[in-house]
Amino acid sequence: MYMKIGIALSGGVDSAAAATDLINKGYEVTAYHMKTISEETFKIIPEKTKVCCSPSDTLDAVKIADILGIELRIIDIKEFFKKNIIDYFIDEYYYGRTPNPCVVCNNVVKFGRLMNIALNDGMEKFASGHYAKIINDKYFDYVIARGKSLQKDQSYFLSRIKKYKLESIIFPNGIRTKQEIRSLAEKAKLPVHKKRESQEVCFIPDNDYRRFLNDNGITPKMGNIVDENGRILGTHKGLPFYTIGQRKGLGITAKEKLYVIDFDYKDNLIIVGPKEKTYKTHFTIEKENWFVDKPQNLDLKCMIRSSMAPVSCQIIIDANETEIIFEKPVSAITPGQLAVLYNKNYVIGSGFISEVIE
């Protein structure tokens, strides 16, 4: 009897190709498509760019399942999604932190609620279309690793998944490039083989963060933009709309290029300075998720953004906190960001940045 595998089918080309691969290998596949946002939201707020979990994605998921000849379960988790992802996003902005909704969604929703539903249905494994690998070899037992395509690698976004779950997860796309994925979908005659990728946060389809925060009861106050000496250079529209390292959109004029280097939440100020002041080396993390014991004994590199190249670092772990020290300064280290630690291409652990020290 063939293994039963559930797959998160988003309606995009990646999960469609992953499902195709599993079927080609002889597995008994059941697809799970989650509804996280009401269709009314997309009627009121049209998509500015492609986002996931839209009504059109549901229609595509139905088409994919029909062509592949597999059962599709559409799961309504809107209330769970709001409580665990949307409310988290709003709270992070309220407290002046940088949210990571996709990271939290992968852990809590896709490989939390949705995976549990599939396993309770009798599925033996749960798969998705993410570009990553799960490794169980002589070096590490059950860790996430970077995919073949480093350009598309999504291990950063998956680093919050608990270790005990990894033996029940499959990432078929980890051994392929994006072009290979599209080719696989095209050979299966799936209409999504040319579908564009999702770009923005799914619950803000117009990508207007200011509107979204206002709609959800957060009305940031205008305040002053000052230099390091406290001299007023201009005004800002609300602290949540700016990030460390930002230069464009400040609306100030100065002899030199100035960047956001800090926030004063007590006095509602944005502090600007030269670019070198945005670079730091030392910070702490919280809510750590480790895949190995004694990670401080390994050669480590760290990413604080999914798009950056990993930077060599040292870590100090004690009973109260974990400190990370980059070997060279990195720009725009911000509380709330996710720091992911790697040994070569293996994910060793992750944690949310709690404090930037220097």
Give the model confidence (pLDDT) of 263-294 as tens digits: 999 999 999 999 999 999 999 999 999 999 98
Please say if the pLDDT value at position 27 is more than 70. Answer: yes
Pairing of strands 269-273, 279-290: unpaired
pLDDT band (50, 70, 90) for residue 67: very high
Higher pLDDT, 321 or 184: 184
Higher pLDDT, 240 or 109: 109
CA distance 8 to 31: 6
Choice among 52, 53, 102, 202 that is catalytic: 202
Could you tell me the strand order of the sheet in which 125-127 lies? 71-76, 28-35, 4-8, 125-127, 169-170
pLDDT band (50, 70, 90) for residue 342: very high
| Residue type for position 131 | Y
CA distance 226 to 71: 59
**pLDDT attached to residue 119:** 98
CA distance 87 to 198: 21
Which residues lie below 8 Å from residue 14, measured CB to CB, with a gap of 6+? 129, 130, 131, 173, 181
To the nearest 10 degrees (0 to 180), the angle between helices 55-68 and 13-24 is: 20
Higher pLDDT, 225 or 319: 225
pTM over 0.95: no
Taken in order of first residue, the domains within the chain and their CATH numbers are 4-130+171-194 (3.40.50.620), 220-273 (2.30.30.280), 280-356 (2.40.30.10)
Of 196-200, 281-285, 325-329, least confident by mean pLDDT is: 196-200
Where residue 33 falls (left for φ over 0; alpha for ψ -120 to 50; beta otherwise) is beta
As given in the structure block, the two tokens for residue 228 are 């390091």
Active site includes 202? yes
Active site includes 302? no
Do 100 and 159 contact (CB within 8 A), yes or no? no
CA distance 78 to 39: 11
Please say if the pLDDT value at position 1 is more than 90. Answer: no
As given in the structure block, the two tokens for residue 291 are 């895949």
Please say if the pLDDT value at position 303 is more than 90. Answer: yes
Which residues lie below 8 Å from residue 260, measured CB to CB, with a gap of 6+? 242, 243, 244, 245, 246, 247, 250, 270, 271, 272, 278
Choice among 52, 53, 102, 105 that is catalytic: 105
Query: CA dihedral in degrees (268, 252, 213, 152; nearest 10)?
Result: -120
Task: Note the pLDDT tens digit of each residue in 155-185.
Answer: 999 999 999 999 999 999 999 999 999 999 9
Cα distances (Å, whole numbers) of residue 61 to 55, 72, 78, 89, 241: 10, 8, 18, 27, 35
| Residue type for position 64 | I
| Residue type for position 298 | L
Going by C-alpha positions, the residue among 319, 327, 353 that lies closest to residue 339 is 353
Of 43-57, 220-234, 315-329, least confident by mean pLDDT is: 43-57
Q: What is the mean pLDDT of the chain?
A: 93
Averaged pLDDT for residues 48-65: 83
**pLDDT attached to residue 219:** 84
